[in-house]
Homo-oligomer: A and B are copies of this chain.
Amino acid sequence: MLAITEPTLLLDESRCRANIGRMATKAARSQARFRPHFKTHQSRAIGQWYKDEGVVAITVSSVKMADYFSATWRDITIAVPFNVLEIDRINRIDARCRLNLCVMYPATLEFLEAQLERQVGIWIKVDVGYHRTGLSEDDDCMDALMDMLADSSANAGKLEFQGFLAHAGYTYSARSVEEIVEIDTKAKDIMTRLQDRYSPRFPLLQISLGDTPGCSIIEDFKGVDELRPGNLVFYDLTQHSLGSCRLGDIAVAMACPIIAKHQNKLIVHGGGAHFAKDFLIDEEGQMHYGLAVSERGDDWSGGWGEHLNGLRLTLLSQEHGSLTGPPQALDGWQPGDVVLVLPVHSCMTANSMKAYTTLDNQRILHLEAEYPLAAP
């Protein structure tokens, strides 16, 4: 039995494994490599659940994460433009781990060829409309990058060109499932044009795509070599609002002790330091940081239900939060009870909590608990 005394991030392992399994199956059906993004869970133990589904390659979003996972994985892509200031750390990562870096500039390739003490895979980061990073398909420096990569290959250099990588992150602001399909179709079209243009010179070049909304909603990924969704491991209320998952697929919930009942609110221990501060605005224009699920109880060893109980997390201080709702939703709850709240953004919530507690009361560590300051 779980004895909750402070904010605790519960993890339903069976839901989580089911989420992983569904996506692995879907990728296999399209003959695409499933290279899941591990920034969501950041846990070696949960990583093992992907291995159980046959996954052999992963994605991360910092050198620190690559360093951490290099202990247990042998093929890691750092899916953000490479930060040249971290070259020493890259060179220190276990040489038995294959690393793939993302690049946007000829100057970065030049720097890497000169400074690397190992071979690495190189992906060119492409902007497919999200406009966070990446080159547009007609960017002036695209040909220069290709020449340098061909040179490195011809001269037994350190850079092994892999292909084009993009993140269609603006699916997160889509207002319908149809719009998500449209965004991902456009992204795939851009990538396919690049592939067509450069494959005469680089016949093996690949396309890597994959945001969780697109990967969850679209069924057929024909023509895409690699899929990199991450959030699917837990899902959350944002994904649910986009249509990426059912409420019952959300695999994490924060257990929060109630410390006060005041002016038609429940005050819980559980604040910005635990949930982080991403919020959603619902159809009525109301914002919230989480929705409470299930009834009063003190035993969640069988998991939680799919019944939203009407309580919404509408205010977050550093350590505390306010749950509000219609009077009947507040009925019966008292200080000393524990309430479960589904998070708006599970990646950020997990990063803040630094650990998970499974329903059979096992603690699973997150990178931020194992190495709070720096990678091993």
Q: Please choose the segment from A188-196, A236-244, A303-311, A368-376 that sits at the chain B interface, where 4 or more of its residues have CB less than 8 A away.
A: A368-376
Residue picked from A131, A267, A273, A322, most chain B C-beta under 10 Å = A273
Q: Which B residues are CB-close (under 8 A) to A216?
A: none
- Contact yes or no, B259 A83, CB < 8 A: yes
Q: Please choose the segment from A18-26, A220-228, A344-352 that sits at the chain B interface, where 4 or more of its residues have CB less than 8 A away.
A: A344-352
**Partner of A372 from B4, B133, B372 at Cβ < 8 Å:** B372
Q: Kindly report which residue of chain B lies nearest to residue A62, judged by CB atoms.
A: B319
A322 vs B130: C-alpha distance in the bound complex, in angstroms?
12
> CB-defined interface of A292-333 with B at 8 Å, one 1/0 digit per residue?
000000000000000000000001011110100000000000
> CB-defined interface of A236-278 with B at 8 Å, one 1/0 digit per residue?
0000000000000000000001011011010101001100111
Q: Which B residues are CB-close (under 8 A) to A269?
A: 62, 80, 83
Give A144 Cβ to nearest chain B Cβ, in Å.
Answer: 16
Q: Kindly report which residue of chain B lies nearest to residue A4, judged by CB atoms.
A: B85
Q: Which B residues are CB-close (under 8 A) to A158?
A: none
In this assembly, does A143 line the interface, its C-beta being within 8 Å of a C-beta of chain B?
A: no
**Which A residues are closer than 8 A to B by beta carbons?**
4-6, 39, 61-64, 80-86, 88-89, 104-105, 107-108, 127, 131-134, 169, 257, 259-260, 262-263, 265, 267, 269, 272-273, 276-278, 315, 317-320, 322, 335-336, 338, 347-348, 351-352, 354-355, 363, 365, 368-369, 372-373
